[in-house]
Amino acid sequence: MKTAFTACLIFGATLLLAPGADAQPVGNYPNHPVKIISPFAPGGATDILARILAQKLGEAWNQTVIVDNKGGAGGLIAGTAVARAERDGYTLLLGSVGPMEVLPSLVKKMPYDPEKDFAPIAMLVNVENVLVVNDRVPAKSLPELIAYGRANPGLLKFGSSGIATTGHLAGEVFKQQAGVDMLHVPYRGGAPAASALLAGDIDMIFSTVPSVVQFVKSGRLRALAVTAENQIEILPGVQPIRKLGLPGYRVASWYGLLAPAGTAPAIIEKIHADVSRILLMPEVKTALLEQGWTTVHAPTALMTEQIKTGIRDWKIVIDKAGLKAE
């Protein structure tokens, strides 16, 4: 199933903003530090992206932009903090598929409504996942891993950056399609999950590329396949799962910037314009590409639509898997 936001459209379409947004003018925004809340632990893919964005926004605004890591609960803690923050543009969320599209189908009493409590600002990047194992796993290829898992049900442990994250769901979809019984072990971010894999506490992860690419290139971890539709430039020779025996497999993700609903349209528009310019900077595009990301340029309205359709599509997957919040 395609869950990545793949549109590459011309910047400048009309913004779709939450009803009732405050009408105060942008004025001299920002005139004091801005906080970007990242839903996962430092060192992972989300944190890397947040710090690149914070640095460039800080330079553009001549103002301090802080990255505040609020990991845990698959992004629920961070999402809740931003949904309840002041509607002044000084607290922003680095959102992704898990807290925005997946959790509504897993958590009975959500502390926020992804469609009503946030004002989407800008889609930033698409990011693919890669299936990596450590040396303790005897499989040297995806077919060998599937055969090993089937022969040893319940033995393999796969980690993720948290419940309901793309890495978690990528593993659950893999379990369904490959017929392999595996144990899920959630962590508080991509970096802790990668560390656990390196230490041998778990056997495999469906990690965002930026979190593990350095370990793959150094030989400390072995990449067996990518969850993308095609090969990824930064991991040459690593084939998509769908071409290695599971043709229906496709799981990807996006990251985007959001503010609390009701934030002034002028502020949303300013941040959107500044972020769009940053994503077009050659040094930023190169840095992101080196991490395995593809930058996205799209109207804010399409980010709103992506969240709406993503919630619907992921509910089908979650219901089929019988997943429950752990």
Question: Minimal CA–CA distance to 79: which of 46, 106, 114, 53?
Answer: 114
3-state SS assignment for residue 32: coil
* Confidence band of 216 (pLDDT split at 50, 70, 90): very high
pLDDT at 10: 30
Alpha-carbon dihedral sign for residues 121, 101, 206, 43: positive
The Cα–Cα gap between 253 and 5 comes to 7
What does the alpha-carbon distance between residue 100 and residue 92 come to, in Å, rounded to a whole number?
A: 14
pLDDT at position 326: 55
Q: Do 181 and 160 touch, CB atoms closer than 8 A?
A: no
Write the DSSP symbol of residue 99.
I
Q: Is 266 exposed, middle or buried (0-12, 13-18, 19+ CB in 10 A)?
A: middle
Q: Same structural domain for residues 259 and 234?
A: no
pLDDT band at 94 (very low <50, low <70, confident <90, very high): very high
Q: Output the pTM of the full model.
A: 0.77
The encoded tokens of residue 236 equal 């040459």
Q: Give mean pLDDT, residues 73-82.
A: 92
**How much is the pLDDT for 25?**
53
8 found inside a domain: no
pLDDT at residue 122 tops 80: yes
**Residue of 233 and 85 predicted with greater confidence:** 85
Please identify which residue in the block is written with the tokens 């399609």. Answer: 177
pLDDT digits (tens, 9 = 90+) for 8-36: 333 333 333 333 344 445 679 999 999 99
Beta-sheet pairing, 183-186 with 157-160: parallel
Boundaries of domain holding 153: 128-243
Domain count along the chain: 2
Q: Are 273 and 213 in contact (CB under 8 A)?
A: no
Q: pLDDT band for position 188 (50/70/90)? A: confident
Same domain, 107 and 184: no
Average pLDDT over residues 236-246: 95
Domain assignment of residue 4, yes or no: no
At CA 241, angle to CA 237 and CA 246, rounded to 5? Answer: 140
Do 269 and 168 share a structural domain? no
Distance CA 158, CA 176 (A): 14
Mean pLDDT of all residues belonging to the chain:
88
d(CA 178, CA 171): 10
At which of 243, 272, 306 does a domain end?
243
Asked if residue 62 and residue 113 are part of one domain, the reply reads: yes
Give dist(CA 64, CA 4) in Å, integer: 31
Which residue, of 210, 243, 276, is where some domain finishes? 243
What's the pLDDT score for residue 304? 94
> Which of 243, 269, 291 is the last residue before a domain boundary?
243
pLDDT band at 72 (very low <50, low <70, confident <90, very high): confident
